[in-house]
């Protein structure tokens, strides 16, 4: 079974998934997109509110199970000091 690469942008403050990209088994394209997104958000004043992750799974269904916190519809926002 092939490994698919998924790029997730998650807003920690709001507790919601902002963006999800699937790259199939194209690791190069996935890592390039990850690096570009990291660079884009690094310079934002609210960059600490976001989590950017690149993960592998055999399918989106598996990803929804293994990384379910990114897919919860109504999640309590993370408390910030």
**Rounded-to-integer distance, Cα 55 and Cα 53, Å:** 6
Q: Indicate if the pLDDT at residue 74 is higher than 50.
A: no
Q: Indicate if the pLDDT at residue 67 is higher than 90.
A: yes
Q: Indicate if the pLDDT at residue 13 is higher than 50.
A: yes
Q: Indicate if the pLDDT at residue 17 is higher than 80.
A: yes
**22-44 tens-digit pLDDT:** 999 999 999 999 999 999 999 89
Mean pLDDT, residues 42-57 taken together: 94
Give the residue extent of every domain in the chain. Answer: 4-70
């Amino acid at each position: 079974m092939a490994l698919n690469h998924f790029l997730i942008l998650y807003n920690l403050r709001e507790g919601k998934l902002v963006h999800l990209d699937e790259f199939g088994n194209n690791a190069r394209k996935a890592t390039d997109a990850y690096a570009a997104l990291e660079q884009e958000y690094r310079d934002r004043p609210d960059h600490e509110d976001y989590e950017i992750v690149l993960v592998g799974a055999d399918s989106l269904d598996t990803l929804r199970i293994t990384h379910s916190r990114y897919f919860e519809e109504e999640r309590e926002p993370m408390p910030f000091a």
